Amino acid sequence: MRTPSGMLRARHVLLLLGLAPLASCDGGIRVNRQGNPCLEDPITLRVEVVDAQGRPVEDATVTATHVDSAVSITGTTNERGVTTAVTQEVGAGTVRVVATAGSKVSPPTLVTWTCDGCHCTPEPSTVQLQLNP
């Protein structure tokens, strides 16, 4: 059997535990849960590579080269013929994108990247490259 002082202590503990969540509602520590949008995952260009019949090409090499700075990014397509290796790291301006698989090469496609204070965005955001037969 609990003593009156033991029961009183138990009530105080329960009261404090019940009020603990309220302490952070007013004047408590504030945490920015949104994070820094400039540090989030980089924006990517979705590149799909297909053969002359329109079927996806796995393991095709996609190369994106900035026409002014010559900065280049290379990626390899997955089983769906898609790569997102080309990121905003290529920089603002016009980028030439081409795919190769063995001796087959796609015609180049131009993508324009426009940048703000945090991110660069490609136009168009998705490219389909068809390998020559």
* Residue extents of the structural domains in the chain: 37-130
pLDDT for 27:
47
Percent of the chain with pLDDT over 70: 71
Is the pTM higher than 0.85? The answer reads no
How far is Cα 44 from Cα 97, in angstroms, rounded to an integer? 13
Task: Taking residues 97-122, report their average pLDDT.
Answer: 96
Residue 36: per-residue pLDDT = 67
Amino acid (1-letter code) at residue 48: E
CATH number for the segment(s) 37-130: 2.60.40.1120
pLDDT at position 38 = 75
The residues, any chain, with a CB within 8 Å of residue 95's CB and separated by 6 or more, are 64, 65, 66, 67, 86, 110, 111, 112, 113, 122
Q: Is the pLDDT of residue 78 over 60?
A: yes
